[in-house]
Amino acid sequence: MQIYLTLAKILKENDVTELGLLYDLIPQQELSRKEYYPFVLVESKLGIPIPVLSSAIKEAHEHYTKTSKQDYSKIEQVTRIMILLKPDNYTAMNKRKELMMSKHIRPDDEIRLLNLIFTIPKHSKSAVAWYHRQWIVTNYDCVQVQNEMKLCEMTCCFYKRNYYSWSYRFWILSRHQQEHALVEKEYSSMLSWCELNISDYSGFHYLEQIMNLMNWKLCLIDQHMKWLNNLTIKFPGHESIWCHRRYCSNLYYTKDYCISQHQFVWDILNDKYIEQALEMTRLDEQKQFALKFGLWLSILEKRRHDQYASVIDSKLICMYRKTTPDSTLLDRQG
């Protein structure tokens, strides 16, 4: 029980605000707080060596089984350590819910504990921890929306394609979708985020969820497509950008829009924007994605029983046909 007791002592004597995993043990003589060995405490930051992590988890579980469930103080302590070490622990999380409902844990304190857990990038992908946070927000009025958004932004930067963080972020936003200023601010924020993370489709997917909440006017559509065109031109060959263009095509589908998209594909194929590209190594991929998008858009038009393709350059239609092994695919749609 030595590792568990040492960790309990650290948490009792210090206000820890950040956690980190250390790949190896640091010699005890090199530590400023030798009594906390094998853990490393620097100011308010606690380092947990990975070599002792499994032993610490095992000792915490053993301590939990031996502790009386009526000793609320000790149960709170041991479950706190259990989820700090391994947040995907249903037993500890459910026990802490019971302690919250019996008012032995304050919701504010639990939120701060979850904030601490999420400072470890690996832990920021814990489904159990995010669902526990959602349960707290649902049952207690103890969070500020902006703080939740900042937390999600931090965890998404910690761990790319963090599904649970993005899902929680949209869940928070959807609860406040009547606050139009908040939704518009998230939309603007995500435009900037996508520009810096163009290969991470999870961000584009969240952007699309925001767009579903917005009341789109023609001026906003034009503004968004100008932004998307500029992004496509500057960063060629990224599938996430072309996938988002498909979403926009479903959302904005009109005759003029489709014609403009085919023209954009034609311009890509003829290297009209090559001098504006910031990456020159993926131009061939850019043309492949453009052709696949054009073919997809043509199939969408056919299935909606429109005749937009009749005004498209015949050379472009011929190129679309060549992107599929079956040259009759386009004719058989609709």
What pLDDT is recorded for position 123? 94
Buried/exposed code over 37-74 (b: 16+ C-beta within 10 A; e: otherwise): bbbbbeeeebbbbeebeeebbebbbebbeeeeeeeeeb
What pLDDT is recorded for position 306? 65
User: Rounded to a whole number, what is the largest CA-CA distance in the chain?
Assistant: 79
What three-state secondary structure class fits 212? Answer: helix
- Non-local CB neighbours of 137 within 8 Å, separated by 6+ positions: 143, 148, 172
Distance CA 309, CA 304 (A): 12
- The closest alpha carbon to 49, from 37, 58, 61, 60, belongs to 37
Residue boundaries of the structural domains of the chain: 224-333
What pLDDT is recorded for position 331? 65
pTM summary value = 0.89
Residue with tokens 């005759």: 255
Distance CA 6, CA 94 (A): 25
- Non-local CB neighbours of 293 within 8 Å, separated by 6+ positions: 242, 245, 246, 261, 265
Each residue's pLDDT tens digit in the chain (334 positions)? 689 999 999 999 999 999 999 999 998 888 888 899 999 999 999 999 999 999 999 999 999 999 998 999 999 999 999 999 999 999 999 999 999 999 999 999 999 999 999 999 999 999 999 999 999 999 998 899 999 999 999 998 888 889 999 999 999 999 998 888 999 999 999 999 999 999 999 999 999 999 999 877 767 888 999 999 999 999 999 999 999 999 999 888 888 888 899 999 999 999 999 999 998 899 999 999 999 999 899 888 887 766 665 667 778 888 888 777 666 666 666 5
End-to-end CA distance of the chain: 69
Looking at beta carbons, which pairs linking 24-30 to residues 24 or more positions away fall under 8 Å?
A: 24/49, 24/50, 24/51, 25/49, 25/51, 25/52
Q: Which two tokens stand for residue 113?
A: 């504990």
DSSP state of 179: -
271: left (phi over 0), alpha (psi -120 to 50) or beta: left
What pLDDT is recorded for position 256? 86
> What are the DSSP calls for 24-61, one per residue?
SPPPGGG-S-GGGTTSEEETTEEEEEGGGHHHHHHHHH
What pLDDT is recorded for position 285? 94
Distance CA 119, CA 280 (A): 37
Residue with tokens 């210090």: 14
Distance CA 325, CA 334 (A): 19
Number of H helices, E strands in the chain: 15, 3
What pLDDT is recorded for position 1? 67
Residue with tokens 């005004």: 311
